[in-house]
């Protein structure tokens, strides 16, 4: 294992810009071509049930970006000192420590969201993206690149999560960012909403919230459709299985 990393380091020794083409690719690739959710199928587990509202999804996305980035950074810093047999445990301890920091911070500063997310904050530990990136990238690459790779994958995850949450909250509840300080009420039956379906002469008298979107199953359908759209535009991603 030590030999491997030494060889790779030797290749990367030539002085490279701090933020060149390769770094940009690391950061942007996971947003589409190599998206953790729709292409690598990692990390679906921990957070789909929170996507019924945008605000908690936003919080958990930020948490994942933080954990993913810094666990990659720390693992990469000590990668030459980790014996191969216990690397899983070492990685898990790093991740668990970071997640504990996130949990305690959230408990202190935003208790309502902490209550809403309940066990899902703890489940970031078992989020396969974090672990997967450590195994696949951070164990063999330099700290700065690993950090960018972690951030990129966290962002790719967050984009999908927030995309699902926007669709589910808008059609399921008629609001956006409910529960946050900046709550938008888009469509609903009272005067508080931007589009009041019951106002005189309203064109939206027929509109009712779609209760399917509140159910967890809706997240599955939406991801299925996301994958469908993405693979229609990028046929190279299609796997025959």
Partner 1 sequence: MELFNIFIKAAFIENLVLAYFLGMCSYLAVSKTVKTAFGLGLAVIFVLGVTMPVNWVISEKLLSEDGWFGVDLTFLRFILFIAVIASMVQLVEMIVEKISPSLYNSLGIFLPLITVNCAILGGSLFMVAREYNFSESIAFGLGGGFGWFLAIIAIAAIREKIRYSNVPPALRGLGMAFILTGLMGIAFMSLMGIDPTALTAGK
Residues near partner 1 (CB under 8 A): 38, 41-46, 48-49, 88-89, 92-93, 96-97, 99-100, 103-104, 118-119, 122-123, 125-128, 131, 215-221, 223-225, 227-228, 231-232, 235, 238-241
Return the number of the residue (27 or 39) whose C-beta is nearest partner 1.
39
Contact 86, 93 (CB under 8 A): no
Nearer to partner 1 by Cβ, of 78 and 220: the residue is 220
Query: Least distance from C-beta 48 to partner 1, angstroms?
Result: 4
Closer of 123 and 140 to partner 1 (Cβ): 123
Q: What is the dihedral of CA 136, 127, 71, 84, to 10 degrees?
A: -50
- In the complex, the smallest distance separating the C-beta of residue 128 from partner 1, rounded to whole angstroms, is 5
**Residue 175 CB, nearest distance to partner 1 (Å)?**
23
Q: In terms of CB distance, is 35 or 197 closer to partner 1?
A: 35
Between 15 and 241, CB nearer to partner 1:
241
Minimum Å gap between C-beta 218 and partner 1 is 7
Tokens of 133: 């990136």
Residue 27 Cβ, how far from partner 1 at the closest point, in Å? 24
Q: How many angstroms separate the Cα of 194 from the Cα of each of 177, 217, 218?
A: 14, 28, 25
Closer residue to partner 1, CB minimum distance, 12 or 220:
220
Burial of 179 (0-12, 13-18, 19+ CB in 10 A): middle
Shortest distance (Å) from residue 226 CB to partner 1: 9
């Amino acid at each position: 294992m030590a030999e491997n990393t030494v060889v790779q380091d030797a290749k990367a020794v030539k002085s490279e810009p701090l933020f060149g083409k390769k770094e940009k690719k690391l950061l942007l690739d996971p947003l589409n071509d190599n998206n953790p959710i729709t292409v690598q199928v990692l990390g679906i587990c921990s957070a789909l049930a929170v996507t019924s509202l945008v605000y908690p999804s936003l919080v958990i996305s930020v948490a994942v970006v933080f954990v993913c980035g810094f666990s990659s950074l720390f693992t990469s810093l000590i990668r030459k000192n980790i014996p191969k047999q216990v690397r899983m445990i070492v990685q898990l301890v790093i991740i668990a420590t970071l997640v504990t920091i996130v949990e305690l911070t959230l408990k202190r500063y935003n208790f309502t969201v902490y209550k809403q997310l309940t066990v899902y904050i703890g489940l970031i530990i078992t989020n396969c993206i974090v672990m997967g990136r450590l195994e696949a990238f951070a164990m063999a690459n330099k700290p700065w690149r690993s950090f960018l790779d972690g951030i990129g994958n966290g962002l790719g995850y967050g984009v999908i999560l927030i995309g699902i949450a926007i669709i589910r909250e808008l059609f399921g509840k008629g609001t956006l960012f409910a529960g946050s300080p900046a709550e938008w009420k888009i469509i609903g039956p009272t005067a508080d909403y931007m589009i009041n379906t019951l106002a005189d002469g309203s064109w939206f008298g027929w509109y009712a919230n779609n209760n399917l979107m509140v159910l967890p199953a809706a997240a599955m359908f939406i991801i299925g459709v996301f994958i469908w759209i993405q693979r229609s535009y990028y046929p190279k991603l299609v796997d025959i299985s």
